[in-house]
Structure 1
């Protein structure tokens, strides 16, 4: 560990698995840094060389770290949670993805998403190789800012969340020393103010994202709500592209097509149905709008993402029990 500024806050430094000899690197890292410092059981997920490198900044009331790591599995076991650490930890993959399991619940996050969980809970993560950003905040700093926090489990917050982006920006500046504390190493009032600002933004993020929390009392579907909403929003934005596919959504969110199918299946949906429904609803709105009375049905079909007019007509009739022309006529519009 390479520490700087240990005469007083902020404490800055870096940690790297490279400090251990190659022949015993993994075992040394697991025992010394993993179990004793992080209080995690750490195991590699592939046969490649193990590596971990991170830089960190510790302020009064929070610790921020960022770095890169090979594919690993981390477990916070009943034995390891006896350290009485009850921090709230927000973890964001910058590159790569992560699977989280806790109390029988499961979630997958991709680049830019965030997972928020309690260190006092047994948990299990599997991460691909990549880059990460984390912040740990004491529970006591958040309890007054998040209503009923004790009833809540872990939360998945999608990358599209504006407050999450704001929080990440502040964490990056604190980590890099470009926000306040960089030029005021000994000014504890400034450091405390910087930490409180992070607490406030994190509290706002959690309190306004409570639909994304997984309830400890059961699996009420809230765990996947944020991801499903983001997928549906993407489909709505790109439905008019005839080439748009589930692979495009998977790339956008940094997750697999199979995981998207699983999410939708939990709601009794399929991706093809979701995309087709969005296109049909757009077509219906256009046909019912008097301002489009001179636009042909063929052009409307193409505009809404259909590449086959016969298929469009068939799907439209199945959904609305009427042809596109009948919908248009019922509104007193011109026929094609």
Structure 2
């Protein structure tokens, strides 16, 4: 077959070899004689070249448009992620600020208890212990403190002669010597109120913290009379923190200055050491901060701030 081009549409023509009358365009459904075809052959080729050139330009234009769209989408995604990061940073900053306010409130609670203990120590300095007496006034002062502060589990005073008075009254082991106890020695040596390390009370299943205050015979602190103390139920004192949530899946925990877990949603972890190096290292700084950490087998964002009065740390754990 011999191919020429249709003068109307430019598509190939099939020569009619049967009658020799010319060629037939299957697209236009018309027959053209050879004499008709030949004069326009060059024009058709020129037209085809123009179409080809236009097609090439169209392809280039489409490619350029696609590239532009890709850059546009990429730019929009970058802007979206940038905006999202800005918003996330703002939310995280506000969360840390709120956590600092909570820590300050808890610190104030401990300060109030410390203040009350020092006031009680001043009152007890005026009362004399009677070895053979009921010491009802001393018991009354101790009992009043417990009624005033529900988180106090025990209130007591140990004297230099090793005598001991406590509320509520409980039987003590024979030969109990309060002057040999760490809380007594530390408060007497430092001549000020001290917070002793926490311990787990097996009988009540509570975390207990002892506040000890030296009691003197006069305002000049010239002679030590004894040391009074509170055993505080920390689990009760921090119970309000258990309901605090900043996000849907976060939770709070508290660790003391030694890294012992004081409060946690899981009771099994309370009283256990915090074995997370990056959290322990961050806690030592005593500065509010946000870090990434693998805790309890998960990737977490952790907000950390300090309860200044106790040098404890509140951590908000936000699983990724």
TM-score range, shorter chain: under 0.3
With the length of structure 2 as denominator, give the TM-score of the two structures: 0.24
Say which one has the larger Rg. Answer: 2
